[in-house]
């Protein structure tokens, strides 16, 4: 019901293959038991949303590109890291809807080998024939957005009708609505009284805030752990709280998320965005060996490392149902040849 109301209120287009499966991870559950006994680990397969190899951005783009479509835009502009999955999927969605796309790649991660710039997501951008601009700084969200709007003005002057998907906190979190819908979808797959926790990568916070707000609006009190992949917990927490307040107001459930609902954890973030650490390497290998699940070094691998860390710290009780939300990202792994050394 919640989802229907949202789709009636905000322009939406179908892009994602949903519902995505909710599967058990029995092998991983046995490999990493809680301190009191085995936990029931599940995986929500949002790596399988389709749209040029899938990932969490498909659900978010259903609202951004829905608005672009409703505004009769003919061009879409967005920004992200060189190995951005968001940029890849934005291009795919725009092209599918008959719009052109121009993207801006930010140099967020330095000192990377050639594969980082040429394989994985950048390779896929070339295959879709998009226009690529570069932005020289990595930690300047506002500047990156400004550059996008400047470019939009230029192409407006050429008679085009651009639509910008910005990244900074200064815009309405339309994409998070996709994860309010995903929360409703998940509660059709597992009872709200049986769901104990969800663990998810927390980057811009759209996925984390949408899911948390959706679950609370639907009367589910499961804990939602955001594993920081972009910035420290100290910076991510207020960002998430603001996002949840915006999203809950947008869906007519203002105030449904409390301060104490915001759980962010940056134990596996170092040495920073897009940079590997040994916990993440081990998590990628464990998921691959135990479950045949492919994770990436920047997002889903770190989220899995965060989940394993929480289990080892005794955060979950035996028999609890804990869902790992797989946000995708495996195409980005091709930019990390150091994964060849995994064993
Ligand atoms: C973008 C992305 C995330 C982070 O999602 P946010 O909604 O920005 O927090 C996580 N995993 C993958 C694979 C992504 O591409």
In this predicted structure, which of 24-33, 139-148, 226-235 has the lowest mean pLDDT? 139-148
Q: What are phi and psi of 308, to 5 degrees?
A: -60, -40
Q: Tens digit of pLDDT for each residue in 34-92?
A: 988 999 999 999 999 999 999 999 999 999 999 999 999 999 999 999 999 999 999 99
8 A C-beta contact, residue 271 and residue 277: yes
- Measured CA to CA in angstroms, residue 124 lies from 1, 179, 324 at distances of 37, 25, 27
Q: Which carries the bigger pLDDT value, residue 234 or residue 139?
A: 234
pLDDT of residue 167: 87
For ligand 1, what atom is nearest to the CA of residue 203? Answer: 9
> Which residues surround ligand 1 with Cβ inside 6 Å?
55-57, 85-86, 201-208, 299-300, 327-329
Q: Tens digit of pLDDT for each residue in 267-312?
A: 999 999 999 999 999 999 999 999 999 999 999 999 999 999 999 9
pLDDT of residue 169: 80
The domains of the chain, with CATH numbers, are: 2-55+173-341 (3.40.50.1100), 57-165 (3.40.50.1100)
What are the structure tokens assigned to 246, written together? 């915006």
- The overall pTM is greater than 0.85: yes
How far is residue 210's CA from residue 196's CA, in Å, rounded to a whole number?
17
For 232-300, the DSSP string reads -HHHHHHHHHHHHHHHHHHTT-TT-S-GGG-EEE-TT-TT-TT---HHHHHHHHHHHHHH-----TTTH
Does the annotation count 84 as an active-site position? yes
Q: Which carries the bigger pLDDT value, residue 45 or residue 167?
A: 45
State mean pLDDT over 237-251: 97
How far is residue 126's CA from residue 145's CA, in Å, rounded to a whole number?
22
pLDDT of residue 1: 76
Three-state secondary-structure class, residue 85: helix
Q: Tens digit of pLDDT for each residue in 98-130?
A: 999 999 999 988 889 999 999 999 999 999 999
Strand ranges in 119-252 using DSSP code E only, listed in sequence order:
131-135, 162-165, 195-202, 223-228
How remote is the CA of residue 85 from the centroid of ligand 1, in Å? 8
Report the candidate in 311, 306, 310, 323 with the shortest Cα–Cα distance to residue 24. Answer: 323
For ligand 1, what atom is nearest to the CA of residue 207? Answer: 7
């Amino acid at each position: 019901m919640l989802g229907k109301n949202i789709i009636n209120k905000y322009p939406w287009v179908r892009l994602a293959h949903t519902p995505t499966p909710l599967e058990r991870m029995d092998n991983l559950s046995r490999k990493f038991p809680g301190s009191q006994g085995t936990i029931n680990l599940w995986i929500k397969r949002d790596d399988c949303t389709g749209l040029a190899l899938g990932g969490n951005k498909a659900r978010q783009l259903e609202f951004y590109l829905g608005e672009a479509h409703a505004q009769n835009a003919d061009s879409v502009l967005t920004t992200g890291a060189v190995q951005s999955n968001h940029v890849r999927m934005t291009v795919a969605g725009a092209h599918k809807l008959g719009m052109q796309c121009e993207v801006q790649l930010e140099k967020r991660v330095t000192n990377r080998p050639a594969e980082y710039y040429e394989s994985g997501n950048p390779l896929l951008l070339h295959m879709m024939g998009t226009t690529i601009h570069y932005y020289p700084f990595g930690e300047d969200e506002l500047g990156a957005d400004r550059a996008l709007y400047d470019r939009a003005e230029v192409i407006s002057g050429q008679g085009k009708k651009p639509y910008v998907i910005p990244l900074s906190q200064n815009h309405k979190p339309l994409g998070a609505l996709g994860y309010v819908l995903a929360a409703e979808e998940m509660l059709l797959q597992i009872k709200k009284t049986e769901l104990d926790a969800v663990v998810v990568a927390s980057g811009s916070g759209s996925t984390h805030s949408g899911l948390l707000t959706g679950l609370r609006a639907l009367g589910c009190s499961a804990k939602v752990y955001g594993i920081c992949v972009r910035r420290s917990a100290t910076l991510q927490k207020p960002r998430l709280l603001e996002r949840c307040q915006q999203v809950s107001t947008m869906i007519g459930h203002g105030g449904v998320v409390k301060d104490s609902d915001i759980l962010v954890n940056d134990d596996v973030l170092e040495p920073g965005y897009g940079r590997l650490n040994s916990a993440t390497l081990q998590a990628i290998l464990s998921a691959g060996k135990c479950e045949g699940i492919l994770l990436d070094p920047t997002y889903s691998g770190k989220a899995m490392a965060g989940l394993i860390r929480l289990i080892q710290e005794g955060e979950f009780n035996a028999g609890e149902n804990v869902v790992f939300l797989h946000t995708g990202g495996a195409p980005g792994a091709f930019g990390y040849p150091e994964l060849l050394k995994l064993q």
